[in-house]
Structure 1
C-alpha cells in the first residue's frame, strides 16, 4: 500500500512539473512532410465521423473495440448516446408540446455544438494514439498541431509509457469539459437563448440532465441502469466530478462492465430512447399530438401491450448541422484544474432509474396541465 502511494505521488509530482513547463512552452515547431500528411489525414477522418450525433457516437464505440485500453472512448460513447437522446426528446412526446419551435432549435444547437466540439477535439487525440501504436513510437508532440490543449501531452506521454487508463481518462474528462466551457457554456448566444431561459431554470425541477448507462444481466432479462444526474449543468467542477463518477461506475464492477459493452454492441445508437426501452418508447409516431399517455405507475409495470411514448430517431427529426470553426484559444493557462486530477468523488451509486422515471411523470403532468390551461383560456 505504501509503495503504491509513493508511486502515485511521484507520478502526480512529475506530471505537475511537466504541466507547469507546458504553460511556459515556446511556439510549436514546423512539421516534416510525413507529419503534415498524418495531421491532415487525422483532420479528414475526424470531419468524416463528425457529421452528427449518431456518426460520432458510433465512432467512439468502434474505436473502443480496437483500443479497449483507452477507457475514455467507451465512456464518451455512452455519454454521447445520452446527448442524442436529449436531442430527440426535443421533438418527442413531451418537450415538443412544452417548447416553441425556436426553443427546440436553440436547445438542439446548444447540445449539438457541445457534442460536435468535444468530438473534434478528442477524436484526433485518439487517432494520434492509434498512429503511435502503428508506428511504435510516441507522436504526441503533434497534439498542438491538431489544436489540442497543451494540458494533454504529458498525460498521453505518461499513458504511452505506463498504460495508466484511469489517469488518462481523468485528464480527458477535465480537458473536454474545459474545452466547451468558454466555447459553449459561457458563450453569449447560448447563455441568452438557452442557459438563461425559463426552460433551463426548470432543469432542476424536471431533472432532465440524466446520464443513463443501460445494460442487461444474464439472470434478469430486463434493462438495468447505472448513471448520474447533473443538477447544475453550468458548473464546470460539477460536470468534471460527474464524469469521474460515471467512469468509476462504469469500470468499478467488471461483470457489469462486460454487460454494458455487450449491450452497446447489440443496440446500435439511433438517438431514439426506443434503443433501451422498446416497451415504453416507439420511434414511430402513431398517435395524435393532442392525446395523452397513460403511463404505468413504475418502470417494472412496463409491458408490450401498454401505451408507448414517441421518441424519434435522430435522422428523422434533425438534419446535419454545418458548424463554424472552433476557437483556437487554449484553455490551459494555469494549474487551477490540476487538483481535480486527484480529487475524490462520491462513489455512492444513485437510483438513476427512479429519478428518470420521476422525470417522465413530471413531463407528462406538465403537458396535461398546459393542455388544460390552454383549453380554459379559450373561454
Structure 2
C-alpha cells in the first residue's frame, strides 16, 4: 500500500493534470469549501438524528426509506437492481446508473471466487475472506448512498428539499452541503463526484483500513488478483450499429491498484466520464442493462465464453479452453455461476459503525471531473488477460496434481 507521502504526491499529480485539461472549476470548489466550513461550524457534532425526536410526518418518511434500503440491501443482485430502478425513475441521478454498472462488476468478482479458475489457486478460507471483504464494501456503500437517493426522490415529489434529514441516516455533513447545492444548481456532475468522494471515504476506515480485513488486503492472493487485472471494471454495451461480432463491446478501465483512497476516487471519476460523456456507451449500456437482468455470472455479458452451469466434472488438472477470445472446438464454457449458486445472503450484517468521515474541507478539492479517454474499448485487453490467467491456472493445477 502507498504511504501518506506517496498518496499526497498522487493526489497532487491528478489535480495538476485536471487543471491542465481545464476540468477543475476552482470557483465551484472554493464555494463548496466555504459552505462546508460553515456546516462544520454550525454542526460540530456529527451525531445521528434520533427518529423519535422528529415530527410524525418526517419520522414516517425516514422509517419508510430505512425499510426500503434494508429490503434491497440483501445481496449484490438486489442492490444492483435497486440502483437501476431508481435511475430509470430519476435519470438526473447519474450516480445511480454508474453505481449499477460498477455493482455488476462487484457481483462478477464475488462469483469468480467460486467459478472455474480461482478455486484452483486459492484455499476455501481465502475465498471466504475475499467474499466478506467485497460484500462488506458493497453493503456499506448501498446502506449509506441509497437513503440519500431516496430522500432526493422524496424531495422532488414534495417540491421542497428534505436534506436536513440526512443525519437521520448517518450521512456525512459533506453530502448535505453537496445535495443542497445540487438542489439549487441542478448540476449533475458536481453531486455525482460528491457521491464518489463520499462512498470511498465512507468505506476507507470501515473496510479498507479496518483491522478485520488487513489479512485479506495484505495477502499474496489479493496482490495477485490486482496484478492479473481481475479487477478490471467493464461496461458492456450495445453499439449503435451491428458489428457482426457475437461479443458485446466492453468499455472500461484497467485498475492497477484500488487500495489508495485517491486512486479509488480517480477510478470513479474516469468511469463516470466514460459512461456519461460518450453517448454510444451510455445509451448502449442502458439498453443492455434494461434487457439483461444482473445475476452475478459473467455469462450475462459474454455467453460465448462463460456458462452459468458447470459442464462436465472438474478434473485435478486443468486443460486450457481458450483460443484468443473464443472457446476451442468442443471446449466447455468457462464456469461462472450466478450469485445465488455461489454465495448465500449474509445474515444480520454488522452496522456501519464509525463517525462522520468528514472532519475538514480537504475533500472538496476532489470535486472535479475529467474527459473521457479517447481509447476506452477494453475487450481485447480482457481477452489477453483471460488467456494469461488460464495459462497460470493450468500451470498451477499441473504442479499441484499428483503424479502418476
Instruction: Please confirm whether the aligned pair reaches a TM-score higher than 0.5, indicating the same fold.
Output: yes
CA shift at 1:306, angstroms? 5.0
Shift of 1:11: 3.3
- Picking from 120, 127, 137, the partner of 2:150 is 127
**Do 1:294 and 1:307's aligned partners in 2 also have CA atoms closer than 8 Å?**
no
- The residue that corresponds to 1:280 in the other structure is 305
TM-score (norm 2): 0.87
2:352 paired residue among 321, 326, 332: 326
Superposed, 1:265-304 pairs within 5 Å as: 265-290=290-315, 292-299=318-325, 301=326
Deviation, structure 1 residue 328: 3.7
List gaps (5 residues or longer) in structure 2.
1-21
Correspondence for 1:335 among 347, 361, 383: 361
CA contact (8 A) 1:279 1:304 kept: no
User: In the superposition, relative to structure 1, how do residues 257 and 351 fare at CA in structure 2: closer, same or farther (>3 Å)?
Assistant: closer
TM-score normalised by structure 1 residue count: 0.92
Residue pairs, 1:152-301, within 5 angstroms: 152-192=175-215, 194-217=216-239, 218-220=241-243, 222-290=247-315, 292-299=318-325, 301=326
Question: Mapping of 1:45-56 within 5 angstroms?
Answer: 45-56=68-79
Tell me how far 1:295 sits from its aligned partner: 3.3
Task: Give the drift of 1:101.
Answer: 0.6
Q: Which has the higher contact order (CA 8 A, sep 6+)?
A: 2
Would the aligned equivalents of 2:106 and 2:134 in 1 still touch at CA under 8 Å? yes
Cα offsets for 1:189-218 (capped at 9, x unmatched): 1111x1011101213431111110001213
For the 8 Å contact 1:279–1:303, the answer to whether it is kept is no
- Alignment CA distance shift 1:370-1:147 (3 Å): same
Residue 72 of structure 1 corresponds to 95
Count of aligned positions: 371
Alignment correspondent of 1:12? 29
State the alpha-carbon separation in 1 of the partners of residues 311 and 262 from structure 2: 42
CA distance in 2, matches of 1:45, 1:123: 9
Q: Which is worse superposed, 273-282 or 154-163?
A: 154-163
Partner of 2:251, secondary structure, is: strand
Instruction: Name the residue aligned to 1:106.
Output: 129
Once residues 187 and 209 of structure 2 are traced to their aligned partners in structure 1, the CA distance between those partners, rounded to angstroms, is 32
- 1:359 maps to 385
The answer to whether the 8 A contact 1:143-1:153 is kept is yes
CA distance in 2, matches of 1:338, 1:36: 31
For structure 1, the 5+ residue unaligned runs are none
